[in-house]
Amino acid sequence: MAARLPVGYDLGYFNPTTRSKAVSGGTAGDDKAYAVRGMYDMGNVLHAEVSYGKSEQAGGYATEDYSVLDVAASYKIQGATLKAEYIDAKNVKGVDGKDQIVWYLHAGYQVTPMYETVVRYYQGNDDLSDTSLSNTFVGLNVYLNPAKKYASRIQLNYVFASGDTDTWAGLGGYTDDAILAQYQVAF
């Protein structure tokens, strides 16, 4: 059996990415989207990746191209999981100068095989409106079959919203505190 290389890449050439919240236009057959991603894995301990993408005429005919740079990493050791991600988006929905930066930090700890505590902090900044939004998640993951950890789980979170919650003009995020419950299968 051949050894698996710790590095990898993806290349993509697509129709416009209109299912993305950041892209609302583009004409199939005329406008294109491009993406490239490089990855590094050190077993189940460390995963890191860098990606870049572009979607032409992101707001429809005669609008700007959308581009995005994403850098992410996750690290696992002795029941603890640490993750971080940085996303820098330019010309959201094809609007010149509507740039948004989002980053997050995540810490999880496996208290027992069935229960994992999680704290996650998101920060978003929208340049055009000069607004920012923060979301802090405090949660618990319940693994329904601990022997097969990634088979199914219930996620319970409380989200604290802060920043420009009344005027936030960027994509995504919670502008009010929220209670979330989610069931995941095969993640």
pLDDT digit string (tens) for 13-48?
998 888 888 998 888 778 899 999 999 999 889 999
Strand partners, 173: none
Give me the chain's average pLDDT, please: 94
Calpha distance 24→4 (Å, rounded): 39
Residue that is written with structure tokens 């004409």 in the block: 27
Q: How far does the chain reach from its first CA to its final CA, in angstroms?
A: 26
CA distances (Å), 180 to each of 61, 125, 154, 156, 177, in order? 38, 23, 10, 6, 10
User: pTM for this structure?
Assistant: 0.89
Q: What pLDDT shows up at residue 148? A: 85
Q: What pLDDT shows up at residue 3? A: 62
DSSP-derived secondary structure letter, 119: E
Residue 187's pLDDT band (cuts 50, 70, 90): confident
Calpha distance 74→86 (Å, rounded): 12
178-185 vs 46-55, strand pairing mode: unpaired
Instruction: Flag whether pLDDT at 178 surpasses 80.
Output: yes
What average pLDDT does the segment 83-112 reach?
97
CA distances (Å), 126 to each of 73, 92, 106, 136, in order? 23, 10, 22, 18
Residue 5's pLDDT band (cuts 50, 70, 90): confident
